[in-house]
Amino acid sequence: MTDTERLENGWYADTPTGDNLLRDHFMGFADYMVAAGRAGGYPVLDDDEVGALDGGVPHPFVRAAVLRRPPPDTAAIGDRLNAFFGGDDMYGVFVPACAAPPEGFGLGGHPPFMVRPAGGLLPPSPPGLRIESVHDEAGMADFERGMIAGYPVPELDGAAPGTGFPARLLEVPNIHFWVGYEDGRPVATAGALVHHGLNHVEWISALPEVRGRGYGAAMTWQATLADSSLPAALIASDDGRPVYERMGYLPVVRCTFWMGPGRRD
């Protein structure tokens, strides 16, 4: 080995897809942020270090950034993100490492990154649940309603339909949304982005009054098997982790969620 030889560390800008699943997930997640921001007409930040969108709503998943690699300098990335988001409203930052937040940021936790190997058949839906794939504006409106009440995203309550999840998101390549209906009303949601060799599982929600009926697991199966030839990955909560483990998901490593102050100097 020479002094100038570069040893692969899994996080270079030109590291290939498939080198490691954590990188593949965060690269796909960052790409989604940028694509969603552009589809919605929102400001975006897109480079080798970060993918971010500012959806204009003070919720850490609507104003959000995803780091494409562990931050070598947390203070510097904090300054960059504050300059992008500005203002005083909270925003969220997903970090592919256990990293202490920069000064002025809050620590939202260290959620587990989980992976399920490829394969499997879609189980039958529980009684009372009808799952529909979203293809149009009406479906996206139901998806958004389900997310607002079930995730929840109360900051979107009362906002114009499509503020958080516009129908233009359906134009993002390889994106999928599902709504679960009970007696004709949307009660559960799920989504997946098939990208970077993974089913990126997102937006799993169920209304509080229907939890415990297997609806959340049924929705998660839809996203997990969006392309059954590929493994699936997600960032779980500690409360949700047992559900995913029963589905065959394996805990790999813990990531970090920062809450940015969005200050403007």
List Cβ neighbours of 136 (8 Å cut-off, separation of 6 or more): 167, 170
Residue 53 belongs to some domain of the structure: yes
Report pLDDT for 265. Answer: 40
Between CA 152 and CA 139 the distance in angstroms is 18
Residue 7 lies in a domain: no
| Residue 254, C-beta contacts closer than 8 angstroms, at least 6 positions apart | 98, 110, 111, 112, 113
| 131, 90: one domain | no
Please, what's the b/e burial string for 195-207 (b: 16 or more CB within 10 A of its CB; e: otherwise)? bbbbbbbbbbbbb
Could you report the average pLDDT of every consecutive run of 10 residues in the chain (265 residues)? Answer: 78 94 96 92 95 89 94 95 88 96 94 97 96 97 95 88 90 95 97 96 95 95 98 95 96 96 52
| Prediction pTM value | 0.92
pLDDT digits (tens, 9 = 90+) for 75-115: 999 999 999 998 778 899 999 999 999 999 999 999 999 99
Chain CA centroid to CA 115, Å: 14
pLDDT single digits (tens) 199-225: 999 999 999 999 999 999 999 999 999
Q: Are residues 215 and 168 in the same domain?
A: yes
User: Same structural domain for residues 96 and 131?
Assistant: no
pLDDT at 61: 80
User: Closest Cα partner for 46 from 72, 61, 65, 26?
Assistant: 65
Q: Are residues 158 and 223 in the same domain?
A: yes
CB-CB contact of 32 with 193 (8 Å): yes
Helix intervals (H) in the chain:
21-40, 74-85, 137-150, 215-224, 241-246
93 half-sphere exposure, CB direction, 13 A CA radius: 33
Query: In this structure, are 154 and 59 located in the same domain?
Result: no
Residues 106 and 162 grouped into a single domain: no
Q: Are residues 45 and 131 in the same domain?
A: no
CB-based contact 97:70 (threshold 8 Å)? yes
Q: Which domain holds residue 72?
A: 21-112+254-260
186 and 205 fall within a common domain? yes
Q: What is the pLDDT of residue 264?
A: 36
* Assigned domain for 265 exists: no
Residues 106, 41, single domain; the answer is yes
For the chain, how many structural domains are there in total?
2
Q: Are residues 107 and 174 in the same domain?
A: no
* Residues in Cβ contact with 185 at an 8 Å cutoff, skipping those fewer than 6 apart: none
> What pLDDT is recorded for position 1?
52
